[in-house]
Amino acid sequence: MKQLTTLACAALITLSACTPKQKENTEIPAPPVEGNWELVEELSDEFNNGFDDSKWSKSLWNYGEPVYMVAENSGVSDGKLWIKATLRNDSVRWFQTSRIMSKEKISYPLYMECSMIANNVSSFNTFWLNNGDSYNRDEIDMCESNAKPSLDSMAHYAHTLNSQYFIVRDSITVRKHGNFDNNLLSENNPMRGKRWSEQYHTVGIHWIDERNIQFYLNGEKAGSVVTEKDFTKKLHVIWDVWTSYDWWTGGIAAKEDLQNGSINTMYVDWVRTYKPVVE
């Protein structure tokens, strides 16, 4: 692991605009959290060298209709991880998409962040942690962003960082949201008020301990949650894209948007994970 000390974090806001060549020559900054940190190589990637199958896999279990997961709708190229939503020739499961998941798992304390830009389709573009199933799991959603909600009543989603946690034991769920409106970023933050598909945003999490989580957005504190139960599992890192008929996702995707290659893809520029240095 690479050891890092706390640095000024204004650079975090601009790093996401780097080209792949620039990323190779850029020193990895420390996270915007006090203390000494070291990079966790197994859960960090600048995506400059293609799909690293020692770190990532394509986990293709399906969500509800109309989602259909396939391996060919995700990958790494040109210095970016990408997940594409396309139209499948099926009347029921017509939203063809994919998922990328880490092979390693991790637990608190940690700081993790990625630079990502959403597609411009009514869908959730996600960055999250999970281990388990519907009956027993720990889950932390750093980001479920929808840059183009199809429901007028959910137009605010274009600027809302939807963040939350779930702890499920024997089918009993406890959860809480820690959402944040990016219009509330500081006035001098160039990402203030930018839609999720307009620019790369840096989404982060400081998983402090078994009950406390602080979310970050573009180098600033965003929402936070305190859980009702303890987290007890190590979790995988996951990105995926999906849509739903449920109102709380922002509305179902328009099929014509899935046929537009200029707007139907989510990209991740890099992901970096840090653990505190053990003195």
pLDDT tens per residue, range 229-251? 999 999 999 999 999 999 999 99
H/E segment holding residue 160: strand 160-169
Q: Please, which residues have CB within 8 angstroms of residue 44's CB and are 6 or more apart in sequence?
A: 28, 270, 271, 272, 273
Q: Please give the average per-residue pLDDT across 25-34, as a whole number.
A: 82
> What is the reported pTM?
0.91
Asked whether the beta carbons of 101 and 58 are under 8 A apart, the reply is: yes
The residue ranges of every structural domain in the chain are 3-276
The tens digit of pLDDT for each residue in 99-126 reads 999 999 999 999 999 999 999 999 999 9
- Catalytic residue IDs: 139, 144
Q: Is the pLDDT of residue 6 over 90?
A: no
- For the chain, the residue count is 279
Q: Please give the average per-residue pLDDT across 136-156, as a whole number.
A: 98
Q: Is the pLDDT of residue 2 over 60?
A: no
CATH code at 3-276: 2.60.120.200
Q: Is the pLDDT of residue 43 over 90?
A: yes
Q: How many helices and strands in the chain, by DSSP H and E?
A: 2, 20
The tens digit of pLDDT for each residue in 85-98 reads 999 999 999 999 99
The Cα–Cα gap between 170 and 41 comes to 34
